[in-house]
Amino acid sequence: MGQTVRDLYEKATELPPNERAELAGLLLDSLEDERSPGAEQAWAAEIERRMSEYRAGRIKTLSWQEVRAHLHRSDR
């Protein structure tokens, strides 16, 4: 991490949580515009596809407890 980035980071951590979140969102948006011009539309289509599958009963959902247990299993 360069000194300029480190300085910006240090200043940003002094912001209230809601302003840090807003800054983080703006920075992420700036990356998406440069690297993936169609990413937002692709994600919207993927979300709609998954919701259609869910509504039709073709996918199984897991509770947070099940997901967390899976993540902490040693054999995965």
Q: Which residue has the higher pLDDT, 1 or 42?
A: 42
Condensed to tens digits (0 to 9), the pLDDT of residues 2-15 reads 889 999 999 999 99
| Residue 65 token pair | 């407890």
| Residue 26 token pair | 């703006």
Which amino acid does the sequence have at 16?
P
* SS3 annotation, the chain: CCHHHHHHHHHHHCCCHHHHHHHHHHHHHHHHHHHCCCHHHHHHHHHHHHHHHHHCCCCCCCCHHHHHHHHCCCCC
Condensed to tens digits (0 to 9), the pLDDT of residues 57-75 reads 999 999 999 999 999 987 7
Q: Mean pLDDT of all residues in the chain?
A: 90
pTM comes to 0.46
